[in-house]
Structure 1
Amino acid sequence: MTVIDFTAFIGRLATASGETILPFFRTSLSIDNKSVSHDFDPVTEADRAAEAVMRRLIKANFPQHGIVGEEFGSEHEDAEYVWVLDPIDGTKSFIAGFPIWGTLIALLHRGTPVFGMMHQPYIGERFSGDSGSAHYRGPTGERKLAVRRCASLQDATLFTTSPLLMNATDRATFGRVEQAVRLTRYGGDCYSYCMLAAGHLDLVIETELKPYDIAALIPIITGAGGIVTTWEGKPAQGGGRIIAAGDPRVHEAALKLLNG
């Protein structure tokens, strides 16, 4: 199986999941809370239905592959090829009717993300990458993605979904970077990373991400010329505290502040 064939198949996964999700968007949804604490971690019928559709397609076409999904757990995650699925990244935006969410589809080979896609079916956008290059396809056409150069933190635009998702210590640490940049904005979930790959912002910093939150975005960002690591500068596919930057100078400067 070639990378080209995998690319076509990922397109099929994106189409099938999008067709499953869209009938639920901006309708009256039943919403469950997955959190066992006092937090709110919503999941909807759309999340479950979309992941189920993708799992069925993967098992029918690549029964030897593993699957890691947000809603239905892991199967054969020690396989050579493993699919990592987040049917709706940004469920809180989804249930509020905002189109700042997307389906994340990653393919790992021996534990390393080799292809990723973020699909936003309501807007009709797809961001994809294979670490060597990254591409956008949407209503305005198709183009290659490229991060923008940014010489210093003082010139940078920073995004995070919400500082309230961080624990008190990490929030204070994040605040050091926030004070150093030119502009900080909140919200975005997976869209922030795609806008970084597209050259519209410079830095994304988040915490407590799961593998399915980040695996698909790594090949997109690195394919566009950016860098994604943990706050410790380690590989990011396992999740945790994540920093993504378009320019290595901004990445290095932010890491210094994050590590005190």
Structure 2
Amino acid sequence: MRHSPSNDLEIAETMADAARVAILPFFRQPDLETDNKNKGGFDPVTIADREAEKAMRAVLAEHRPDDGVLGEEFGHSAGSSGRTWVLDPIDGTRGFISGTPTWGVLIALSNETGPCLGVIDQPYIGERFMGQGELAIATGPAGQRKLTTRKTQSLEEAIVFTTFPEVGTPNEAEAFRAVSQHAKLTRYGMDCYAYALLAAGQIDLVIEAGLNSYDIQAPIALIHAAGGVVTDWKGDPAHGGGRALAAANAELHAAALEILKQY
């Protein structure tokens, strides 16, 4: 854990460090027990999810006791500061229990206007993507680098990612296909890592539905800092969850939004 964190980004990195320590002993363990939070379907949760959120909440209790906390596993704890840390200890638990390295730890700081800081951390690979204001950087095996989204102008040249058809209604899946049929390349099932790739300038669009606020707030802050755009499918703020359209730039966002608005 980092020594005496002071500013918000250092606090977020300290939480990400703590989550890594909590999670990694459980990754790719064949006897890992999995519980199902959705008896009508499959929404897995593991001890790694719970221990990671506990570890991050402990950091906040020590360094930001007046801030609120909203976490996927342990709900909302009100604060007095007007600020809330929004945590998803493992976004992509399906991927986690399958052994793929595309899950991640999501950390956002939100105020009255929405998320203003976002971190996507991939503990196994050792990559961390961070955005705050106009600062967007990544650290990892290749060192530290600045993040900037792509300049792709047309859907025909775009690379599009989603979790469909696993997530969303049949109508929402149809809406996604209406966009993706124009794209150069479509890939599936990357969870939060898709948003990190968008911020890093590797892909152009991420289209999702059925999200909770803790799924999308960190990606919003990160992508905005890297120069991209994130809204819902009507062009309104997406930090409450639901449907999300993340785009590398305003032109590409407008082109995809024109299609999605019809659904």
- TM over 0.5, shorter chain: yes
Separation (CA, whole Å) in 1 of partners of 2:61 and 2:83 = 12
The 5 A counterparts of 1:102-121 are: 102-121=104-123
The 5 A counterparts of 1:87-126 are: 87-126=89-128
Separation (CA, whole Å) in 1 of partners of 2:62 and 2:80 = 19
Separation (CA, whole Å) in 2 of partners of 1:49 and 1:257 = 41
Separation (CA, whole Å) in 2 of partners of 1:42 and 1:116 = 24
2:67–2:80: 8 Å Cα contact kept in structure 1?
Answer: no
The 5 A counterparts of 1:27-46 are: 27=29, 28-37=31-40, 39-46=41-48
Deviation at 1:245, TM superposition (A): 0.3
Identity %: 48
1:131–1:218: 8 Å Cα contact kept in structure 2?
Answer: no
Q: Per-residue CA shift, 1:52-109, capped at 9, x if unaligned?
A: 1111221122221100000001111675110000000010110011111110011112
1:242 corresponds to which residue?
Answer: 244
Deviation at 1:150, TM superposition (A): 0.8
The 5 A counterparts of 1:1-260 are: 5-27=7-29, 28-37=31-40, 39-76=41-78, 79-260=81-262
Separation (CA, whole Å) in 1 of partners of 2:196 and 2:181 = 23
1:131–1:224: 8 Å Cα contact kept in structure 2?
Answer: no
SS across alignment from 1:163: coil
1:160–1:186: 8 Å Cα contact kept in structure 2?
Answer: yes
What letter matches 1:158 in structure 2?
V
Deviation at 1:110, TM superposition (A): 2.3
1:244–1:251: 8 Å Cα contact kept in structure 2?
Answer: yes
Deviates more, 1:44-53 or 1:108-117: 108-117
2:164–2:173: 8 Å Cα contact kept in structure 1?
Answer: no
Deviates more, 1:218-227 or 1:165-174: 165-174
SS across alignment from 2:20: helix
Separation (CA, whole Å) in 2 of partners of 1:79 and 1:230 = 28
Separation (CA, whole Å) in 2 of partners of 1:49 and 1:12 = 15
SS across alignment from 2:7: helix
Separation (CA, whole Å) in 1 of partners of 2:154 and 2:88 = 33
What letter matches 1:94 in structure 2?
F
Q: Per-residue CA shift, 1:23-45, capped at 9, x if unaligned?
A: 000112110000031x1000000
Separation (CA, whole Å) in 1 of partners of 2:72 and 2:34 = 16
What letter matches 1:30 in structure 2?
E
Separation (CA, whole Å) in 2 of partners of 1:77 and 1:213 = 21
1:205–1:243: 8 Å Cα contact kept in structure 2?
Answer: yes
- TM-score, reference length from structure 1: 0.96
2:11–2:63: 8 Å Cα contact kept in structure 1?
Answer: no
Gap runs ≥5 in structure 2: none
Gap runs ≥5 in structure 1: none
CA RMSD of aligned residues (A): 1.4
- TM-score, reference length from structure 2: 0.94
Deviation at 1:216, TM superposition (A): 0.8
SS across alignment from 2:86: strand
Separation (CA, whole Å) in 2 of partners of 1:77 and 1:154 = 46
Deviates more, 1:231-240 or 1:53-62: 53-62
* Residue-pair matches, total: 257
